[in-house]
Structure 1
Amino acid sequence: MSTHSWPDSEARSPKWTGRLRMELAERRGRTEIQSLVEEGALRLSRPVYGVGPDPQLYLIHVGGGCVEGDVYELTVVCHTGSRAVLTTQSATKVYKSPVRPVTQSLAIELAPGGCLDFRPDVIIPYEDARYHQRTHVRMSSSARLLYSEILTPGWSADGQWFRYSECRSWLTVWVDDRPVLYDHQWLCPGATFSGLGQMEGYTHYGSLLVMGYELSHPTHNVLAESVQNLGVQGCVGLSPLPGPGFMVRVFGLSTDEVEQVFHVVRGRIWREWYGAMPQRLRKY
């Protein structure tokens, strides 16, 4: 592994709170970090190898959370044949930011045969928090991607849900230089936010993107039955995408409900792709 400074480090803008760029490469049958650039509040753990050649990588925020005006940039490049599981050390806690939002930009590049399973912990916006996240994926048609995000409302002084100001998420996916997905989620709480047409009475929201997997009707039925057998009280939707791929949306009453659904879906995908079950990542 090599660690370098940013090419423009001398002329860099001081606005960055933290940024990180990693490149992964397959060497002698296992994936290793080819290069790593860290700056500001973002760090990366050493690779953790479990069963198989794929490392688990942990993003570390050295501060206690995100505050008004914070700007983060993360770039992940998976070269040909490389595979990894990427997660965060803990939840993304977004504190009061009434004027300038906390902003995070994520770029994912997947070469032919590259595979990334990105499982960040939950995003928790607290009272008066504003959070903007932009995710841009460019991948080969022979690459594979699992990408999830979960939003849970944070604590407020009066004990009420949904006291954050807004959470916005933009997701774009290009496959072989062809746009296949543009997804914009804008949650802006108001007096009727938990009612019909918005959170539908639920408190937690999650989405899981799977790219590089052709969703057949039998598989759709198996996934639907597996989710039903969990007995969760949430609402789950599944939509096929070009690319090929599909998106899973979940409204739930707890983080655990959303994670259970995602684990079932990941389990099905992992068994078909790798002949194994995904490991549950223990952090607490």
Structure 2
Amino acid sequence: MSAIIHPIAPNSSASWHGQLELDYAQRDGKTIPDRVFVQAPLKVQRPFYPEEEVCHTVMLHTAGGIVGGDRLSLNVNLQPQTHALITSAAAAKIYRSNGREAQQTTQIRVGTAACLEWLPQETIVFDGAQYAQQLKVELEPEAVWMGWEITRLGRSARGERFETGYWRSKIEVWQNNAPDGGTASRRLLWVDPQGIQGGHEMMTSLHGLAGYPVIASFVFVGRGVSPELVKAARAAWHSPEKPIEPLQEEPLITLHESAHQIGVTRLRAGLLCRYRGDSTLEAKRWFVRVWELVRSGELGRSVCVPRVWQV
């Protein structure tokens, strides 16, 4: 693995223009980071192998949070027949804007018969933040991608509401079925544009967030799934709580007693789960169960929780 660390030159601007580039290759049946390029404040920890063949990678944002004017660019490439799981070391924090928009752009390419699990920890958007993110995934033949996005609007535990600012997110997943990489058979599998304006009627409308500060999505894309998997994902919300290591010391949440709302949809080539409620931990615990179902049924693997999670 080659690693390049590119420091930021001092200047008068308080904003960051961070970059992260990851290229994964297969060596002797094991996925390894073949090339890593980082530019502050983005970094990655050394790879972990709790599953041997699958490379677990933990991203870090060393500045502690994202402010107005920050530009973060992530580029991830998986070569054919590789398998990587990427997560983050802690929740991302989007601070109140200084008048400028903060942006994050992520480009992901998953090679033939490869799999990427994109499972960052939650994002906390402070009141007054102005933030836009775009994530684009390109799947080669037989490739699959699964990811989640868990967002808290305002620090509601401190009584903060998302009254001003905005949060925007757009995810696109494309698939190329041509073995030679031609564009003729390239098709859009799933697109998910979202936008929340602070203080807007959408925050309280029953057709919007209905007063809930947490919204979350889990998606598996790349191949069709059975109706049984959809039913199992719904049932996972109502099933009794079961231990998942590592556990926090707080009592476990019983999901079926929650008043929060969930939905599960069978996509043309995948599965989509939605959550709106009060708890990022609750959303993550349900998503972990769905992740376990998808891993077992579609990948033939048991769940392996990254060490940095608290679920």
Task: Give the TM-score normalised by the residue count of structure 2.
Answer: 0.83
Which of these residues, 229, 241, 260, is aligned with residue 285 of structure 2? 260
User: What is the alpha-carbon distance in structure 2 between the residues aligned to residue 144 and residue 212 of structure 1?
Assistant: 4
User: What is the alpha-carbon distance in structure 2 between the residues aligned to residue 147 and residue 32 of structure 1?
Assistant: 20
2:188 corresponding residue in structure 1: 179
1:201/1:155 CA distance change after superposition, 3 Å: closer
Which deviates further from its counterpart, 73-82 or 155-164? 155-164
Tell whether the 8 Å contact from 1:126 to 1:156 is kept in structure 2 after alignment: no
Aligned length: 278
1:208 aligns with 2:215: no
1:95 corresponding residue in structure 2: 95
Shift in Å at residue 142 of structure 1?
0.4
1:38 aligns with 2:47: no
1:156/1:163 CA distance change after superposition, 3 Å: farther
Root-mean-square deviation (CA, aligned residues, Å) is: 2.3
Amino acid in the other structure paired with 1:259: K
Which of these residues, 259, 267, 275, is aligned with residue 233 of structure 1? 259
Tell whether the 8 Å contact from 2:218 to 2:273 is kept in structure 1 after alignment: yes
1:56 corresponding residue in structure 2: 56
User: What is the alpha-carbon distance in structure 2 between the residues aligned to residue 56 and residue 98 of structure 1?
Assistant: 35
Tell whether the 8 Å contact from 1:26 to 1:32 is kept in structure 2 after alignment: yes
User: What is the alpha-carbon distance in structure 1 between the residues aligned to residue 262 and residue 156 of structure 2?
Assistant: 28
User: What is the alpha-carbon distance in structure 2 between the residues aligned to residue 118 and residue 57 of structure 1?
Assistant: 10
Secondary structure at the counterpart of residue 174 of structure 1: strand
1:266/1:68 CA distance change after superposition, 3 Å: same
2:270 corresponding residue in structure 1: 245
1:228/1:156 CA distance change after superposition, 3 Å: closer
Tell whether the 8 Å contact from 1:104 to 1:134 is kept in structure 2 after alignment: yes
User: What is the alpha-carbon distance in structure 1 between the residues aligned to residue 217 and residue 91 of structure 2?
Assistant: 16
Secondary structure at the counterpart of residue 285 of structure 2: helix
Shift in Å at residue 280 of structure 1?
4.9
Q: Percent identity?
A: 26
1:191/1:25 CA distance change after superposition, 3 Å: closer
Tell whether the 8 Å contact from 1:250 to 1:258 is kept in structure 2 after alignment: yes
1:218/1:80 CA distance change after superposition, 3 Å: same
Which of these residues, 181, 187, 190, is aligned with residue 199 of structure 2? 190
User: What is the alpha-carbon distance in structure 1 between the residues aligned to residue 149 and residue 158 of structure 2?
Assistant: 27
Per-residue CA deviations over 1:162-184 (Å, capped at 9, x if unaligned) read 23511000111110021222211
Amino acid in the other structure paired with 1:108: I
1:217 aligns with 2:243: no
Task: Give the TM-score normalised by the residue count of structure 1.
Answer: 0.90
